[in-house]
């Protein structure tokens, strides 16, 4: 058994059949598919059992209670037999050659991990996300901002086992970023595949679209890795993370947290013109200064909140 595929799922019976068939259409066939049913109360378990009855590569883990995607991935890893691990969510799609291309990349270079580009599919539009910088300077880039998803990699299981708490439930829905920060401490060798091999489908049920949870998770991850980020990049990058959280709260018009995190950015790195500008803006009052902030972002060609 060369590859173990870990698929956590919860109440996605309408999407699960398509996802399983997508995996079965892979050109690389020497794998086991571990589906972790996270206490679904729809038709999920019946669908898994139907596929399992005709495909011996499918293994079922049936959680007694809902524990979330991070813990479910952990359960899947413990039951895995493969030397290489890949992850997929129940609403995403792989290119049919994903496993083959990533497997060959790791074998030919003896690298720890293969990473590919991916598509974001939203409102009938596909956005190509390049991962070349993360592949070239992984530690530097991953501490600056989130980038890869679990679904965009293939990784040696022995490397995951060296990570302390790789699937941290407190970091959901940004658990991917926490995982890759932890991974960067091991200085992995990386093979890069210059093409999108999976598509992240954004819809209303995506965990990452819960903005409050995302902001809380990012704050948790930054606090957790504060000393590590500071040692590698200094306080300037930490301040930029606080501004990112503030921009998330801008989307919710959460004035208290907008003020809180722009203030934290300024207090963390007060010599930055950006931090000074945002701090002045929130002192004036966000409702009055929002137009100015968005005008500045337009000039700098950065997205408005």
Average pLDDT value for residue range 99-104: 97
Looking at 68-77, 106-115, 272-281, 284-293, which range is the least confident one?
Answer: 284-293
Percentage with pLDDT > 70 across the chain: 93
The answer, yes or no, to whether residue 147 has pLDDT greater than 70, is: yes
The answer to whether residue 260 is domain-embedded is yes
Confidence of residue 73 (pLDDT cuts 50, 70, 90): very high
Does 176 participate in catalysis according to the annotation? Answer: yes
Confidence of residue 107 (pLDDT cuts 50, 70, 90): very high
Phi, psi of 189 (to 5 degrees): -85, 140
167 vs 36: CA distance, rounded Å = 14
The answer to whether residue 219 is domain-embedded is no
Average pLDDT value for residue range 141-159: 95
The answer to whether residue 154 is domain-embedded is yes
* Domain identity same for 178 and 290: no
* Domain identity same for 50 and 181: yes
Total domains, the chain: 2
Residue found by looking up tokens 């980020």 in the block: 229
Task: Determine contact, residues 28/99, Cβ cutoff 8 Å.
Answer: yes
Higher pLDDT, 290 or 17: 17
76 vs 231: CA distance, rounded Å = 34
Higher pLDDT, 293 or 56: 56
* Domain identity same for 163 and 101: yes
Task: Determine contact, residues 2/103, Cβ cutoff 8 Å.
Answer: yes
The answer, yes or no, to whether residue 146 has pLDDT greater than 60, is: yes
Residue pLDDT, tens place only, 154-208: 999 999 999 989 999 999 999 999 999 999 999 999 999 999 999 988 765 554 4
- Write down the pLDDT at residue 208: 47
The answer, yes or no, to whether residue 304 has pLDDT greater than 70, is: no
- Write down the pLDDT at residue 210: 86
The rounded Cα 181 to chain-centroid distance in angstroms is 11
The rounded Cα 6 to chain-centroid distance in angstroms is 15
- Write down the pLDDT at residue 122: 78
Distances (CA, A) of 87 to 177, 202, 227, 272, 301: 14, 17, 29, 39, 34
Last residue of some domain: 190, 208, 226?
208
Residue found by looking up tokens 């679209």 in the block: 209
Confidence of residue 286 (pLDDT cuts 50, 70, 90): confident
Long-range contacts of 140-145 (CB under 8 A, 24+ apart): 140/232, 140/233, 142/177, 142/180, 142/181, 142/183, 142/184, 143/181, 143/184, 143/225, 143/228, 143/229, 143/232, 143/233, 143/237, 144/233, 144/237, 144/240, 145/244
Confidence of residue 302 (pLDDT cuts 50, 70, 90): low
Q: Domain span at residue 86?
A: 3-208
* Domain identity same for 272 and 193: no
* Domain identity same for 50 and 168: yes
Choose, from 176, 204, 219, 227, the residue flagged as catalytic: 176
Residue pLDDT, tens place only, 17-66: 999 999 999 999 999 999 999 999 999 999 999 999 999 999 999 999 99
CATH number of 63's domain: 3.90.550.10
* Domain identity same for 44 and 86: yes
Phi, psi of 5 (to 5 degrees): -100, 125
């Amino acid at each position: 058994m060369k590859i173990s595929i870990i698929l956590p799922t919860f109440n996605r019976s309408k999407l699960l059949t398509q996802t399983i068939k997508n995996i079965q259409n892979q050109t690389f066939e020497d794998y086991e598919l571990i589906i972790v049913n996270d206490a679904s109360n729809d038709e999920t378990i019946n669908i898994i059992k139907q596929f399992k009855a005709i495909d011996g590569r499918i293994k079922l883990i049936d959680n007694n209670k809902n524990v979330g995607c991070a813990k479910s991935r952990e359960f899947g890893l413990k039951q895995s037999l493969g030397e290489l691990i890949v992850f997929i969510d129940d609403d995403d799609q792989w290119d049919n050659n994903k496993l083959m291309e990533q497997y060959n990349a790791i074998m030919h270079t003896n690298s720890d991990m293969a990473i590919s580009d991916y598509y974001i599919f939203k409102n009938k539009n596909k956005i190509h996300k390049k991962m070349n910088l993360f592949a070239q300077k992984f530690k530097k880039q991953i501490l600056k901002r989130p980038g890869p998803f679990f679904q965009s990699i293939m990784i040696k299981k022995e490397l995951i086992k060296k990570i302390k708490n790789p699937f941290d439930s407190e970091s959901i829905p940004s658990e991917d970023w926490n995982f890759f920060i932890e991974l960067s401490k091991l200085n992995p060798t990386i093979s890069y595949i210059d093409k999108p091999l999976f598509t992240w489908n954004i819809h209303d049920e995506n965990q990452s679209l819960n903005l409050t949870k995302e902001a809380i998770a990012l704050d948790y991850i930054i606090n957790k890795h504060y000393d590590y980020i500071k040692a590698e990049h200094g306080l300037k990058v930490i301040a930029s993370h606080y501004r990112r959280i503030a921009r998330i709260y801008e989307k919710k018009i959460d004035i208290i947290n907008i003020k809180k995190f722009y203030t934290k950015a300024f207090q963390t790195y007060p010599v930055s013109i950006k931090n000074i500008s945002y701090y002045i803006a929130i002192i004036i009052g966000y409702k009055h200064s929002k137009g100015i902030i968005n005008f500045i972002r337009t000039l700098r060609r950065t997205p408005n909140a």
